[in-house]
Amino acid sequence: QDGYYLAKLLKSKNYTVHGLVRRSAGRHAERERVFEYLDERIAGDVTDFGTLCRIFEQHDYDEVYHLAAQSFVAESFSDPFSTWKINTVGTLNVLEAIRHFAPNVRLYNAASSEMFGNEPAPQAINTPFMPRSPYGVSKLAAYQLVKNYRESYNLYACSGILFNHESPIRGEQFVTRKIVKAAVAIKKKRQKELRLGNLNAMRDWGHAEDYVQAMHMMLQHARPTDFVIGTGKTYSIRDFCLYTFDHFGMNYENYVTVSPEYYRPAEVNQLQADIQPALFDLGWQPTHTLKTLIADMITYEWNNS
Ligand code: GDD
């Protein structure tokens, strides 16, 4: 999702865009679509240090956006080892390869609001980090590595602590796309119910198309600086269900059931970004509200399912 929107943005600014693409046996339409704006696909994997070194040795890049991750929090509880390897060792590989072969490159690293855990909302850049999942821990270690490399080796390397960001092409296991998909399928009489986990968790949801703008702006900033990026608003999963089903004149309570299988061993209860520095120091602001985000997701789903 983020790679797609970012490549689209960079192409609109006349960049040449290369994408590191992990080999995958299957080819399905949605996966192929995300490559639409790439000038070149480079086969590789952030867990493979040798490949990264070779890539940075052979190309002279100006900017690197490190978005590769195992990004599904629930999965990190069932497979913490690969989450750690991809998210933390992967970031270390990128940093080491840049340090040796491309020390003048500007690096953006995708950090996460999951790093805050249950610290009280709103969360800001100086809020303590108390991650509640192997995913959050892996992202925090990567964030600290980026900071450490910036300070030790004088690299232009910074992290965006991004709160949840969604879009019509969001992965189907994430709760927003799951809800939108189900509401459309129910309206089209192809599905009868939707099983979810914790409806009371609260998230600060923005649109990925807005958030890639912030990534780009961070790399144009005079000094490498970490920023918190969100909308500053927070809503529950229940609110998201209510607005989505309401779009079709349906009451979500008639279709949504709570199933313990979707509960996580530990939950992050409320995320809400303090976006003052993003507004005033970076000059970025979101253009979407939760309702326009949902409308965008519904339109796509309705026309493509
Ligand atoms: N996925 C999912 N599926 N989540 C559910 C469900 C369900 O059936 N039912 C309730 N939830 C709740 C989760 O427990 C969580 O509190 C919330 O919905 C959001 O879950 P996700 O959409 O999976 O996202 P996330 O908040 O765990 O993580 C996303 O945001 C992070 C930034 O805060 C991901 O994009 C991460 O990669 C990102 O770093």
135 part of the active site: yes
Q: Which residues pair with 106 in a beta bridge?
A: 63, 156
Q: Residue 256: what pLDDT? A: 98
Q: Residue 5: what pLDDT? A: 97
User: pLDDT below 50 — which residues of the chain?
Assistant: none
- Alpha-carbon span 67 to 211, nearest angstrom: 12
Residue nearest to atom 35 of ligand 1 (CA): 164
pLDDT in tens, 141-169: 999 999 999 999 999 999 999 999 999 99
Sign of CA dihedral 180, 185, 189, 191: negative
Q: Residue 31: what pLDDT? A: 72
- The separation between CA 124 and the C-alpha centre of its own chain, rounded to angstroms, equals 18
Q: Residue 27: what pLDDT? A: 64
Q: What token pair was written down for 66? A: 């490190």
Contact assessment for residue 63 and residue 108, using Cβ atoms and an 8 Å cutoff: yes
Residue nearest to atom 8 of ligand 1 (CA): 196
Quickly list DSSP for 256-282: EEE-GGG--SS---B--B--HHIIIII
Residue whose structure tokens are 């040449």:
16
46-89-265-2 Cα dihedral, nearest 10 degrees: -30
Residue 287 is given by DSSP the state: -
- Alpha-carbon span 163 to 166, nearest angstrom: 10
- Alpha-carbon span 263 to 44, nearest angstrom: 34
Sign of CA dihedral 89, 68, 30, 174: positive
Residue nearest to atom 29 of ligand 1 (CA): 164
Contact assessment for residue 109 and residue 146, using Cβ atoms and an 8 Å cutoff: yes
Q: Residue 293: what pLDDT? A: 98
262 part of the active site: no
Percent of the chain whose pLDDT exceeds 90: 96
Q: How far is the CA of 240 from the centre of ligand 1 (A)?
A: 12
Residue nearest to atom 25 of ligand 1 (CA): 73
- Alpha-carbon span 304 to 194, nearest angstrom: 19
Q: Which amino acid is at 16?
A: T
Residue of 37, 65, 135, 149 marked active site: 135
Neighbours of 147 (CB within 10 A): 17
112 part of the active site: yes
Contact assessment for residue 244 and residue 255, using Cβ atoms and an 8 Å cutoff: no
| Site residues for ligand 1, CB cut-off 6 Å | 71, 73-74, 112-114, 163-164, 173-175, 178, 196-198, 201, 203, 237, 262, 264, 267, 271
Q: How far is the CA of 260 from the centre of ligand 1 (A)?
A: 15
Q: How far is the CA of 73 from the centre of ligand 1 (A)?
A: 7
Report the run of H or E that residue 258 belongs to, with start and end. strand 256-258
Residue 159 is given by DSSP the state: E
Cα first-last separation, the chain? 18
Cα angle at 124 between 284 and 239, to 5 degrees? 80
Sign of CA dihedral 258, 264, 266, 268: negative
Among 165, 199, 203, 244, say which to mutate for ligand 1: greatest number of ligand atoms within 8 Å of CB.
203
For the range 83-86, what are the long-range contacts, defined as Cβ-Cβ under 8 Å and sequence gap of 24 or more?
83/134, 83/135, 83/138, 84/134, 84/137, 84/138, 85/47, 86/46, 86/47, 86/138
Among 66, 73, 123, 235, say which to mutate for ligand 1: greatest number of ligand atoms within 8 Å of CB.
73
